[in-house]
Structure formats: structure tokens, C-alpha cells
Amino acid sequence: MKGQHSFIVLCCALLAASTVRADVVNGGFETGTTGWSIAGQGTAHDASFGVTPTHDTWAGYIENTGNGTIPAATMESLLHLPTGTVTGYVSGAPTVGTVMWQNVSVTAGQTLTFDWNFMSDELNEDPIYDDFAFFSIFGATAGFQTAPMLASRNSSSFTPGGPVGFDGTTGWSTVTYNFTITDTYRIGFGVMNVTDGGHNSALMLDGISIPDLPEPSSLAVFALSAPLILRRHRI
Ligand SMILES: [Ca+2]
Ligand SMILES: [Ca+2]
Ligand SMILES: [Ca+2]
């Protein structure tokens, strides 16, 4: 009886330890921008804006014009990016834009996934206005991880039209990023003007999540537990 009791306790302990939770708050923007920090211009839009969200009713939105937009050096400071990251994406000089971020606790092996959609009013302007968008990952202990460009005016294909005020959108794409180190990470998103501060470009986001690691099946729990039980019986 005592052995059976130990087995049950062990199973419970293993299950508790295996349920790893990160905490992206409001990753689908169903409660506006709650949980997100924004420097610049950001909000949430539903389908009445002209773009259908990929998850439920609302999607996040940051744009690179308007009051409060910030320069490249401020973006790099807020997202903890190496100096030169934001000025290095395209050949033109960035001017001002917006970043949005959130800190999350992550266990090695977990994966970030999100949907993004870039839109621009620069498409019938000169290509020197190469507005762009990016995302970034920085670990409190692990340090800078990555900050790839998602899209730019000159490097992406666009579907003409889109929301009022834009010439076209890239449409939705999904990105995944695998965490290899357990840490607290700052996950950031940015959209930037290039050469001047006019003609809006925007990045929409939805379904930002870090799913729990899968729990082992009861069979796997038994397989993990069995050697410990056998060892106990030999004592
Ligand atoms: Ca949503
Ligand atoms: Ca235009
Ligand atoms: Ca612009």
C-alpha cells in the first residue's frame, strides 16, 4: 500500500512539474492593448478597419506616423537591441516609428508564434521611403537573441488596396521562434519610417502566444516512474 501511495504522489509531482506556463497577456488583443507597453502610436482594430483579425475579433496595430513616435536609438534602448540594429535593416535612414513589447517567462523548449500583416501608404511613392517592420527577442539573462525584419516597402509583395489610408498589405503570415534557454524575455515589435516621417505604414499582429509544453501521457509518466519504484522495492 505504501508503494502505491508513493507512486501516486510521484505521478502528481511529475505532472505538476511538466505543466510549464508562459504568460503572454492579451496576445490576441481582445482587450485592446492591455498587457502591452507601447512607445509611439498603437491600438487594436476589429474587421471594420478593413483587415480581418486571424484570432477572434480584434488585432493589434502599430503605425509609424503620429504624435509620440520615436527614433531608432530609442527603439533600440527600449527593446534592448544592439546599437545599429534599427538603422541597419534598409539602406535609407530611419526617422521615427513605434515599438510595442511585453516581458514573458519562458522555459527552454517553448515556442513563440504570432501572425503579422504589414501595410503601407508608400507603395505609389519613391522607393527611397522604404518603411519596414521587425520583431525582437531579448533575454534578461540570455541577452540579445534575434531581431529579424518582417517586411519593408521594397522587399515585400503587396496586395493592392487594404484599409483606408494605405496602398496595399502583405496579408497575414505566421512566424514561430523556438526558445532554447529558460529566461524572462522581452518580446518586441516595431514599425519604422524611412527617409521622412510621412506616409503611414503599419504592422498588425494577432495570435501572439507561447503554448504550454505538452504534458507527458500517463504511459510516459509510468515509464519515468517505474525505475524509481523498482529501486524503492529493492531497498
Ligand atoms: Ca485577436
Ligand atoms: Ca500612397
Ligand atoms: Ca512613411
pLDDT in tens, 49-68: 999 999 999 999 999 999 99
192 and 125 assigned to the same domain: yes
Residue 19 has pLDDT above 80, yes or no: no
Instruction: Give 217's pLDDT tier (boundaries 50, 70, 90).
Output: low
Same domain, 220 and 163: no
- Quick check: 219 pLDDT over 80? no
Helix axes of 218-234 and 2-18: crossing angle, nearest 10 degrees: 140
pLDDT band at 16 (very low <50, low <70, confident <90, very high): very low
User: With pLDDT > 70 as the criterion, what percentage of the chain qualifies?
Assistant: 82
If you average pLDDT over residues 7-18, what whole number do you get? 44
**Could you tell me the residue range of the domain that residue 223 belongs to?**
1-18+215-235
Q: Which three cell numbers stand for residue 70?
A: 520615436
Beta bridge partners of 186: 103, 138
Range with the poorest average pLDDT among 14-23, 145-154, 182-191, 201-210: 14-23
Of the pLDDT bands very low, low, confident and very high (cuts 50, 70, 90), residue 223 is low
3 vs 81, residue with greater confidence: 81
Instruction: Examine the domain organization and report whether 158 and 52 are in the same domain.
Output: yes
Average pLDDT score over residue span 27-50? 98
Q: Which CATH number characterizes residue 57's domain?
A: 2.60.120.260
What's the CA-to-centroid distance between 166 and ligand 2, angstroms?
6
Residue 198 CA, ligand 1 centroid: distance in Å: 28
CA of 129 to the centre of ligand 3 (A): 6
Q: Are both 138 and 221 inside the same structural domain?
A: no
Ligand that lies nearest to the alpha carbon of residue 205, given by its number in the listed order: 1
Tell me the pTM: 0.85
